[in-house]
A and B are shown apart, each in its own frame.
Chain A
Amino acid sequence: MSFSNRNKAGFLAIELDGAGYENLATAVLAAESAGFHVATFTDGRVPGRANALQRAAFAGPVTRTIAVVPEVDTVYTEPFHISTQLASLDYVSGGRAGWIVTAAESPEAAAAVGRSLVQGEALAQEAAASIEVGRRLWDSWEDDAVIRDVATGRYIDVDKLHYADFETPPDFPGLGYSVKGPSIIPRPLQGQLPVLAAASLVGGGLVPADAVDAVLVSAPTPELLAAEVRDVRARLGASVAVVAELDVVLDSRGEAAAWRSLSAQETGRARFIGSAAGLTDLLDALLKEADGVRLHPAALDVELDELSRVVLPELRRRGSLRPPIQDGTFRELMGLAPAENRYATTASGASK
């Protein structure tokens, strides 16, 4: 595939959870004008956190260029709902939607819907099944299924609609299920939304590498991050884009990052603590290894200021950032080829 441009420019994503639901429009616009390529929206049972997919949907019409990518859990949510909600997100964002697949390992999430806790490898199998349902439903309408043929009175060409007929595999650890289809919404604008997942969920008997378009890679320290990116790439092959995860705490407004970092939450991700110039150098180096980097700012408005005034302009000057694509799709940004439809009668080759 098309990630051979690895040594060229990469993209930058920013996690916008810190914006809450009240300052969403301001935050996503600031991220877009700073030159970020992707805004992500964390989900999970945290007090005060609104549903990620809806935050992403709200951000869609406010922006023109930045991709809007929510986390959506696959274990305690309905695959049919996820698929149609994400397809809808693609429509409201003009083809700038993506999906960060998560598999909740949370007793609270299980109790909230009255199911028993899913753990271990079963998490990846739930995720794999939901991704497969999602992708089949996105393909279940061919691109030109809406024909509006006045002569025959047909709004759609039924031959271009397909039942997904998904069934969980025989070795499925949880309660098996089936999903019929077709989707209740025509194929998303991008055909297939880019699917991202934590590298720990993908490959080696977990979610198959060819089910995802990109993985999110974490390491304990910034120093180890580039090496981890190389390892994951070696493990999963060149067809999967690799995105490095980085927490950032920057010197700002006369306050040293080291001080500010004392109050920052432990996340298990690599954390850069220091000056904007230092972060610029680190990102410059990381973007030579990874296709993209996702930044998790300690305090969104504080870090976003430094990032937009200092870090991103300098990275652009050095040529390490891909230029944003005005009115482009998330697939285009990721360098993905147009998504072929697995059901299309004229399709050739594999599809994703």
Chain B
Amino acid sequence: MTRDIFQPSGQIQFGIFFQGVNSGTIWKTAESGSQTDFESFRRLVQTAERGKFAAFFLGEGLRLREHLGRPHALDVVGRPDAQTMLAALAAVTTNIGLVATQNTTYNDPADLAHRLSSLDLISGGRAAWNIVTTDNAWTGANFRRGGYLDHADRYRHAEAFVETAKRIWDSWETPTGPARRVLHEGQHYTVDVAPLLPRSAQYRPVLFQAGDSPEGRDFAARQADVIFSAHPKFDNAVEFRRDIVARSVAAGRGANAVQIMPASEFILAATDQEAQEKKDWVRSLQIGPQQAIAYLEQFWGRELSSYDPDGPLPEIDPVVEETSETRGSGFHGAKARQLADQWRAEAKDKGLSIRQFVTSKTARVDATFTGSYTAVADHLAEYARVGAVDGFNISPWLVPTGLDDIVNHLVPELQERGVYPTEYRGTTLRENLGLQTPVRSAESVQVP
């Protein structure tokens, strides 16, 4: 076996991605619970743990999304701070990993490294950091340094940040001490820190990366343990795996060094037909008439409330040059006019109304697994067999009961097929994911 050839593990794992802020989570039904009460989080994480999920993720957004200059009113909005919530969830769980999405642009490396170590120690070695690099002056308006970072520099900055954090976690000569000082002097920040916390049971927090540009992928190939990817569809997943294997081999880390867990959504029932019907119902609640119009308004930059959600796309043109970042990451930078022309053509071609069109754009179309428990289990077993992914990061569309049918029905099917864990392998996230313990880098040793 050579380090340069990828070996599928034959297994898949699950994580839950509690996004908290989106149109994917349905708030309009009687079963929809609170998005902020601790009980919602407790119920979800304990269900996930019963289903032997590897990890519980919380997303992060550091400014409230806006719509035409005001906070966006139609989707779920407002969520607890990831690390604070995860520290609390550590008290009511024993095995599941706790992954905090934390931004490199609006944190200080020494401070964030310390807080992540704290979470790691409090949880007995179950912490992880989902590294994101969202940057813009609009988000920066909430922070002392403002919008100091150019988009082009986001990964250079992130890389120095993560290197510094790793050196802090690496600075212990033995697991408990003594620690060496860590110095970094760079373009954006200077750090001079004597690390305070020892290594955890899993050495240091597991590193996840979410970000899809070529720079983001290279960054992940050099630094991350797991990529939280955006490519769950089988062919795309295989292609993404090839790309990441090539990048991690080029980075000198070996073909199996970086695991992949795509974002995904599951709509399941006893039969395929029931699942399809459920899907229509889910979609109708995710994208209501107002959401459909508001979605277009975001790109048109103007009010479109006089348009019929069940009619064709607006014939008037956008008033903005570029779509803005105020709807969160992933939205900014598109050329609005060009997009509008393209979309009108596409909708006309397929005979889609505004609402149908927006549903096709927003509902996690590629990310959705719809079908009977057995059919979806067969499909996922195929991913495991070829090693397309290491697992799926499931965004439940219902809180707090959104994992119940997955844990009660899908997980046993997968376990029967021998492709899903029946027990936690260990007590740390690193053990449960089957990741290697990091080798202490030589670099920290050189520091005075």
Contact = CB atoms under 8 A, between A and B. Distances in A.
A180 B142 contact: yes
B283 to A, nearest CB: 15
A25 B94 CA distance: 13
A156 B36 CA distance: 14
A21 B290 contact: no
Contact of A155 (B77, B108, B189): B77
Interface residues of A, number: 63
A157 B73 contact: yes
Interface range for B: 35 or more
B78 A60 contact: no
Given A48-B198, A158-B73, A21 B289 contact: no
Contacts of B143: 78, 80, 177, 179
Interface stretch (A1-9, A109-117, A299-307, A315-323): A109-117
A47 interface: yes
A262 interface: no
B91 A54 contact: no
A80 B24 CA distance: 27
Given A61-B88, A156-B77, A161-B71, A113 B191 contact: yes
Contacts of A22: 121
A25 B88 CA distance: 11
B78 A112 contact: no
Contacts of B83: 54, 85
Interface string A128-153: 00000000000001000010101011
A154 B73 contact: yes
B114 A156 contact: no
A155 B190 CA distance: 42
A48 B196 contact: yes
Given A88-B85, A112-B192, A175-B144, A76 B111 contact: yes
Given A48-B197, A62-B91, A148-B27, A112 B191 contact: yes
Nearest to A22: B121
Interface in A243-266: none
Interface in A182-232: 182-186
Given A85-B81, A152-B290, A157-B73, 19 more contacts: A21-B121, A22-B121, A50-B121, A53-B87, A57-B87, A61-B91, A87-B80, A89-B84, A91-B37, A91-B80, A113-B189, A114-B191, A153-B289, A155-B75, A158-B71, A158-B73, A161-B71, A179-B142, A185-B81
Which 8 pairs show the lowest CB-CB distances between chains A and B? A153-B290, A114-B190, A92-B88, A57-B87, A50-B118, A51-B118, A88-B84, A88-B80
17 contacts: A49-B196, A50-B122, A54-B115, A58-B87, A58-B88, A58-B91, A61-B92, A62-B91, A87-B81, A88-B84, A91-B80, A112-B110, A114-B190, A148-B32, A156-B71, A156-B77, A186-B78
